Chain A
Amino acid sequence: KAGVTQTPRYLIKTRGQQVTLSCSPISGHRSVSWYQQTPGQGLQFLFEYFSETQRNKGNFPGRFSGRQFSNSRSEMNVSTLELGDSALYLCASSRDTGGGELFFGEGSRLTVL
């Protein structure tokens, strides 16, 4: 079956712009989480969604937001982009919450100029 799909794979934005990243989980998976990966900070948890509800949120400013749709697809948005937002954004899905294996996408690489 198809894996977690993230779009776009690469994008370049300038400071002050906003960006929306999309994630399609594995069919049947209802839980989606997002991570930011940078060389300095490593992998950091952004948020988790289950059944269209945000269950957990990481320690990121309010410029970072997300949502999940009824078909479990998820989007994350970053507004007023800063240079430090340049990163690889990874989406992961699992069948449900609490103890399951996470299946990661290939990521969306965002460069902010």
Chain B
Amino acid sequence: AQRVTQPEKLLSVFKGAPVELKCNYSYSGSPELFWYVQYSRQRLQLLLRHISRESIKGFTADLNKGETSFHLKKPFAQEEDSAMYYCALSGYQGAQKLVFGQGTRLTINP
């Protein structure tokens, strides 16, 4: 069965501090992993995907197949990073069918 676990419902860090949002997954094949973000009063939108291997808004995420993790990291948090973050997995059936984690609400304190 496909499952995505985000162990932290809430995460609060100070501006300028490093931030790491954890994501672990369960999938027997080769998954495609995503991070989606929802800023206040905005739509859910893609932040980054592991295939791209790029940094978006200073965030990076590395797929670790051995630990079945896809943690999201940023070295220096900014206040505008405050948002709800969802880790999502797509299996062999294609990217439209995403399995989402429960989400982590990140708050950056000034």
Contact = CB atoms under 8 A, between A and B. Distances in A.
Q: Answer whether A and B are interacting partners.
A: yes
Interface stretch (B12-20, B60-68, B73-81, B89-97): B89-97
Interface of B: 32, 36, 43-46, 49, 51, 86, 93-103
Given A101-B49, A104-B43, A106-B43, 5 more contacts: A3-B43, A90-B44, A92-B96, A97-B94, A104-B44
Nearest to A33: B96
A55 B93 CA distance: 9
Contacts of B93: 55-56
Q: Across chains A and B, which 5 residue pairs bring their CB atoms closest together, nearest first?
A: A43-B100, A104-B44, A48-B96, A98-B94, A33-B96
Contact of B99 (A45, A98, A105): A45
> Mostly helix, strand, loop or mixed at chain A's interface?
strand
A42 B103 contact: yes
> Mostly helix, strand, loop or mixed at chain B's interface?
loop
A101 B46 CA distance: 7
Interface residues of A, number: 27
A79 B100 CA distance: 25
A90 B46 CA distance: 14
Contacts of B94: 48, 55-56, 97-99
Contacts of B49: 101
B44 A42 contact: no
A94 B100 CA distance: 17
Contact of A102 (B46, B99, B103): B46
